Amino acid sequence: MPILKNCELHYIRLNPKYLSDTFNKDNPTYEVQIRTTSKEVMKEWKEEFSLPVRTIIPENEEEGFYFCSNIKKNKFKKDGTLSIPVEVVDGNLLPLDPNLIASGSVGNVMILQRDYVKTNGTPAKVSILMKVQITKLIKRKPSEFKRDDFHEEAMEVIELQEEHNDTLTEGTDSDY
């Protein structure tokens, strides 16, 4: 499988709990945008790997132009089964929490490429995101409140008295 080296990473969606559902709510995607300012690297991405590469010229000229390509992997395969999650490792090949990776981090991206035929009959190549190795980590600051995090709170327990306990009696499902 090809490995794209020293890619600047942006729009990183590699946590299986928080995938991108921008284009398909029923089949969210693992995603990463790779960037470079090198024309040689851009040509390699286009010619050797057949990646769709865009040139971005920011309105703020101080930021400078760059080339980018988005690489994805669907959460579900065509048959509806779960895809193997995208593996994320650090420079020592140890698992790395994808929530720590901020935009601007640098890494190597492994892709799986397959040939296919477009609906118009033209041959094409699809690239599927498989693994990401972070070689320069810009650590994301944890947010103070995450969507699914609870905070410890006191719990009040109320015990019903005997005479107020409801007892279940036989009935139909519609009775419940």
Q: What is the predicted pLDDT for the residue at 173?
A: 45
Q: Is 168 exposed, middle or buried (0-12, 13-18, 19+ CB in 10 A)?
A: exposed
Longest CA pairwise span in the chain (Å): 81
Residue-wise pLDDT tens digits, 69-94? 999 998 888 888 988 999 999 999 99
Q: What is the predicted pLDDT for the residue at 18?
A: 82
Q: Are the C-beta atoms of 64 and 24 separated by less than 8 Å?
A: no
Inform me whether the pLDDT recorded for 174 exceeds 80: no
Q: What is the pTM of this model?
A: 0.74
More confident residue, 16 or 127: 127
DSSP string, 79-104: TSPBPPPPEEE-TTS-B--GGGBPTT
**CA–CA separation, 75 vs 85, rounded Å?**
8
Task: Give the residue extent of every domain in the chain.
Answer: 3-136
Query: 3-136, what's its fold?
Result: OB fold (Dihydrolipoamide Acetyltransferase, E2P) (2.40.50)
User: Of the given ranges (18-27, 49-58, 147-156), which has the lowest mean pLDDT?
Assistant: 147-156
Q: Are the C-beta atoms of 30 and 127 separated by less than 8 Å?
A: no
Q: CB 69: neighbour CB atoms within 10 A? A: 21
Q: Are the C-beta atoms of 66 and 53 separated by less than 8 Å?
A: no
